[in-house]
Every structure is written in C-alpha cells, then in structure tokens.
C-alpha cells in the first residue's frame, strides 16, 4: 500500500503527518517555521524535512515515500512554489512531490472539492474561498505590516502596546503589563530591545496570554480580543458576498489560534454569523494536514 506524507508549513512551525494509502494516519512530526514568505525556500525545506523525518521515525518508516504534499504559507504564487519544489526535490523525500499553498490544503480538509470559506488565524490571518465555479478568492493575508488583523501576532502586538502604555501611565491599567513583561523577561525600559530582536512568531507566541487575560475579565485584553474577532469576521463577510444568494455558505476555522483556542473560535464564529447572515459557521476546527493527505490520495489513483 502507498505511503503518503502531508505537510502544513506555517510561520511559527511546520507539521507533518504520515498516512497509508487509505488515509489512515500513522504518526505526526513537527519542525521549525516553514512559511515561504518568512524564511525562504532553503529554510522552509529544512523545516519540512525535519518534520517529515520525525513523523517517519515515529511510524518506523523511511523516505522516500510515494507522495509528499506540502501546503506552505507564502507559496500561493508560481515563483515561490517552484523555488520550494526545487529545494524539496533535492531531499528525495518522496517519489512524487506536490507543493501548494496552506490555503489549498485547508480548503481540501474543510470541503473536499465543494465550495466554502476557510478562515485561518495563526501567526498571521487570511480567509480563502472556493467559489461555486471552482475559482479562488482571498481576503487578508497581507502580512504583519499591512494586515494580519485578528491573528496571534496582531493580538499579542496590541497587548504589548497596551501594556507598555499602561506601564508609562498613558493607558488604562491592565493585567497584561505584568503577564506579558514577565513572559518575555523585560520591563518597559528593555521592551524596545526585546522587540527589535523578536520575530513575528516570538510576538505571536504571546497571544494566548492576551486571550487568557480576556477570559479572566481584563477590560483592555477583552477589547483587543473582541476587535480581533470582529476583523476576522469581516474577512469572511468580504468573501461571502461573492457567493450566489439564496443558500448558506459554509465557513470553517483553522490555523493554530483558531484550531486550539476554542474560546476565540467561538467568539469569531459568533461574529461571522452576525456580520454575514448568509454563512453557516462550522464549529469543529479543521486540520489542514487531512487536506494534504486527501490531495496525496488523489495522486495515487
């Protein structure tokens, strides 16, 4: 029976799964950041290789497998896909290699070939739709400088800014001050030095603390989280307008933040239902790796 590898390469980490030809999962592995727009092809390929090796070791298998499907953030355009394909081909992880975007494997995991919207929030944020005619549409995904509203990076950066203002007497008192400063081991005087050296993933890693503070009743954190959820919902609304009227548009939620934080996913889903009445949020978080394996299965038929 065929052996398949599926990979989801994101800005904070790279996940891999090995499965047999029927799609039955055998093992998983993880590597470092693998998003093309963040680390480039060589580093992305190394992270993918590391995650695949760990998954294969746990499954007591060896490369090359039959098919490797990689969904990488930042690989939506042909030049980036080709660059990553070339870097991965040299590693001989599989007899057949498919490189696509993280959006494509998320859509496959959520809907197969059917239309719908996936709303992804991890380190960054983006929404993708497969329209009824099979074409794709995107909202967001412009990166931390121009976009990523509602993402882990966005929540954490807003939290850090609010904590710094409060520490200097410019903003409202917030539990985030001690929570975030304690986590990074810096006070307001040393915060600029930490920020200058921090990666987007380093900042985004603080988002759970902002969500925890909001859950505990901190007003500043709650305002940040509600604003993030509202903007993510507007991503889905922007795409929902592209669908034919008269039916409900399925919306699925993925990315590390929405996949693992049920409280945030529930909040976002509520805002989606309110702002886009023609949608039908699916509360079960999607696992993009299942989409990668489904694409791999299609390659073996």
DSSP string of 163-230?
HHHHHTTSS---THHHHHHHHHT--TTTHHHHHHH--HHHHHTTHHHHHHHHHTT-HHHHHHHHHHHH
- Could you tell me the two tokens for 167? 């520490």
Residue 105 pLDDT grade (very low, low, confident, very high; cuts 50, 70, 90): very high
Q: Would the pLDDT of 1 be above 80?
A: no
**Residue 75: CATH number of its domain:** 3.30.420.40
The pLDDT of 177-190, averaged and rounded, is 87
The pLDDT of 196-211, averaged and rounded, is 92
Residue 256 pLDDT grade (very low, low, confident, very high; cuts 50, 70, 90): confident
Instruction: Say what the pLDDT of residue 245 is.
Output: 81
Residue 103 in domain:
yes
Residue 276 in domain:
no
Q: What is the pLDDT of residues 28-65, one digit of tens each?
A: 999 999 988 788 899 999 999 999 999 999 999 999 99
Q: What is the pLDDT of residues 82-101, one digit of tens each?
A: 999 999 999 999 999 999 98
The pLDDT of 184-209, averaged and rounded, is 89
Average model confidence (pLDDT) across the chain:
92
Residue 95 in domain:
yes
Contact criterion met (CB below 8 Å) for 6 and 21: no
The pLDDT of 198-219, averaged and rounded, is 94
Q: Would the pLDDT of 246 be above 80?
A: no
- Could you tell me the two tokens for 198? 């921090």
Helix (H) / strand (E) containing 253: strand 249-254
Instruction: Say what the pLDDT of residue 143 is.
Output: 79
Instruction: Say what the pLDDT of residue 6 is.
Output: 97
Instruction: Say what the pLDDT of residue 261 is.
Output: 94
Residue 99 in domain:
yes
Residue 27 pLDDT grade (very low, low, confident, very high; cuts 50, 70, 90): very high
Residue 62 in domain:
yes
Residue 132 in domain:
no
| Structural domain total, the chain | 1
Helix, strand, coil % (nearest 5) of the chain? Answer: 50, 20, 30
Instruction: Say what the pLDDT of residue 18 is.
Output: 97
What is the rounded CA–CA span in Å between residue 40 and residue 26? 29
Range of the domain at 103: 3-108+288-299
Full-model pTM: 0.89
What is the rounded CA–CA span in Å between residue 111 and residue 231? 23
Residue 129 pLDDT grade (very low, low, confident, very high; cuts 50, 70, 90): very high
The pLDDT of 265-279, averaged and rounded, is 95
Residue 73 in domain:
yes
Residue listed under structure tokens 């800005």:
11
Residue 44 in domain:
yes
Share of the chain above pLDDT 90, in %: 71
């Amino acid at each position: 029976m065929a052996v398949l590898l599926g990979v989801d390469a994101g800005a904070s980490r790279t996940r891999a799964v090995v499965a047999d030809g029927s799609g039955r999962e055998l093992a998983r592995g993880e590597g470092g950041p693998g998003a093309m727009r963040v680390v480039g092809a060589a580093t992305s390929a190394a992270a993918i290789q590391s995650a695949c090796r760990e998954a294969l070791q746990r499954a007591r298998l060896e490369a090359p497998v039959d098919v490797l499907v990689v969904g990488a953030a930042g690989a939506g355009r042909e030049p980036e896909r080709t660059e990553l394909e070339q870097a991965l081909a040299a590693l001989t992880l599989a007899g057949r290699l498919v490189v696509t975007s993280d959006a494509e494997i998320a859509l496959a995991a959520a809907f197969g070939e059917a239309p719908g919207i996936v709303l992804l929030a991890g380190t960054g944020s983006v929404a993708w739709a497969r329209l009824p005619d099979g074409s794709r549409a995107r909202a967001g995904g412009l990166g931390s400088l121009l976009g990523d509203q509602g993402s882990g990076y966005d929540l954490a950066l807003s939290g850090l800014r609010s904590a710094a203002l409060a520490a200097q007497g410019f903003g409202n008192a917030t539990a985030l001050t001690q929570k975030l400063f304690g986590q990074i081991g810096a006070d307001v005087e040393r915060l600029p030095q930490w920020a200058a050296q921090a990666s987007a993933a380093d900042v985004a890693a603080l988002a759970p603390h902002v969500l925890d503070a909001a859950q505990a009743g901190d007003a500043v954190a709650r305002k940040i989280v509600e604003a993030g959820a509202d903007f993510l919902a507007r991503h889905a609304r922007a795409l929902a307008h592209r669908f034919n009227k008269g039916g409900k548009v399925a919306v699925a939620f993925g990315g590390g933040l929405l996949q693992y934080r049920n409280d945030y996913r529930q909040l976002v889903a509520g805002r989606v239902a309110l702002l886009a009445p023609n949608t039908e949020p699916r509360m079960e978080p999607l696992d993009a790796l299942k989409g990668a394996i489904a694409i791999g299965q299609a390659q073996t038929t």
